[in-house]
């Protein structure tokens, strides 16, 4: 088991290293001159030359990349180019807001998807199964920004039930924070619910065709008990994988949602930093998103291998 998990961990580290290369290359390809974008109207040939030296833009990209990776290894995210603040200090409250929103959405989406998936498997082909499938397909077919603006139009503008902007402050209490972030949470839930619901339904129905399930039916066990106690535990591997992917999406995919609702999270900070050519902030946000996504997938692999002994033999 330790050897298998060690291999998974090494693969995750290598993937994160590859992601760091892509993130650094992406910031290098940002349009415009970095020094000119920072100085703007104050740019003169002398100040531009001095700033390029300060930012080490005269060095090759490989040298700057190795220096950036070395700083990351020591926990140094650098300093913001727009306000000269420590990037870690600037990111910390925004990261807390993003984690809150992603956790809020996950606490609603995961139980709801599992419950609806089991219900649709239990009542396969009936009206509730058709409604759930059609509704989930409709939700997943629309882009997030369209769902977000549609919810704002209906729930905030027309009905006036919820605030259209999620402008939370650091001292906002839990109750008002839950209300202010309700529309972003619903948008994220609608975007992730369909994958988890349909995978749960498909995985449970595939297990229902196994011989041991037929034996349980012949013994006269209630159908709900057969699904919850016998089918669901054996269908956990694909369900856990798709849940982990969607949890990673909840962390990484908040960029669009935070931008629409002007939510002060990490995604909104990254969008602002790209517009200002604040490269250290963009790189730090990208690495945090990559680490979260890779880490959640690694956790899903570990849980799947631990829960299913057959996968241990296949992996070996």
- Identify the weakest region by mean pLDDT among 5-9, 106-110, 115-119, 305-309: 305-309
| Euclidean distance between CA atoms 129 and 132, whole angstroms | 5
- Residue ranges and CATH numbers for the domains of the chain are 34-76 (no CATH), 87-315 (1.10.3720.10)
**Reduced to 3 DSSP states, what percent helix, strand and coil does the chain have, rounded to the nearest 5?**
80, 0, 20
| Euclidean distance between CA atoms 231 and 220, whole angstroms | 15
| Euclidean distance between CA atoms 191 and 137, whole angstroms | 10
The residue with greater pLDDT, 30 or 119, is: 119
| pLDDT surpasses 50 at 315 | no
Residue whose structure tokens are 């929103």? 101
- 192 with 249: CB under 8 angstroms? yes
| pLDDT surpasses 70 at 144 | yes
Tell me the average pLDDT across 219-244: 75
| Euclidean distance between CA atoms 106 and 202, whole angstroms | 21
pTM for the full model? 0.80
- Compute the mean pLDDT over every residue in the chain, rounded to the nearest whole number: 80
């Amino acid at each position: 088991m330790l050897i298998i998990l060690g291999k998974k961990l090494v693969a995750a580290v290598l993937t994160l290293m590859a992601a760091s290369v892509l993130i650094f290359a992406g910031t290098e390809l940002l349009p415009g001159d970095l020094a000119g974008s920072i100085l703007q109207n104050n740019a003169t040939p002398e100040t531009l030359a001095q700033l390029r030296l300060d930012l080490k833009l005269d060095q090759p990209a490989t040298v700057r990349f190795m220096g950036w990776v070395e700083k990351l290894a020591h926990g140094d995210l650098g300093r913001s180019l727009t306000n000269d603040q420590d990037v870690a200090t600037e990111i910390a409250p925004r990261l807390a807001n993003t984690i809150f929103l992603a956790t809020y959405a996950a606490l609603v989406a995961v139980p709801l998807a599992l419950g609806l998936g089991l219900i649709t498997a239990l009542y396969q082909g009936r009206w509730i199964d058709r409604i759930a499938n059609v509704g989930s397909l409709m939700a997943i077919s629309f882009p997030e920004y369209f769902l977000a603006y549609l919810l704002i139009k209906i729930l905030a503008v027309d009905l006036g039930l919820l605030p259209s902007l999620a402008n939370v402050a650091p001292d906002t209490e839990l109750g008002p924070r839950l209300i202010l972030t309700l529309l972003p949470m619903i948008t994220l839930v609608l975007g992730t619910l369909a994958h988890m619901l349909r995978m749960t339904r498909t995985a449970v129905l595939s297990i229902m065709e196994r011989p041991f399930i037929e034996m349980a039916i012949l013994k006269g066990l209630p159908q709900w008990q057969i699904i919850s106690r016998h089918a669901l535990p054996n269908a956990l591997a694909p369900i856990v994988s798709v849940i982990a992917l969607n949890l990673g999406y909840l962390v990484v995919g908040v960029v669009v949602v935070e931008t629409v609702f002007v939510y002060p999270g990490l995604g909104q900070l990254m969008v602002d930093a790209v517009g200002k050519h604040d490269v250290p902030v963009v790189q730090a946000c990208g690495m945090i998103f990559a680490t979260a996504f890779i880490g959640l997938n690694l956790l899903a692999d570990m849980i799947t291998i631990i829960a299913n002994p057959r996968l241990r033999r296949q992996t070996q």
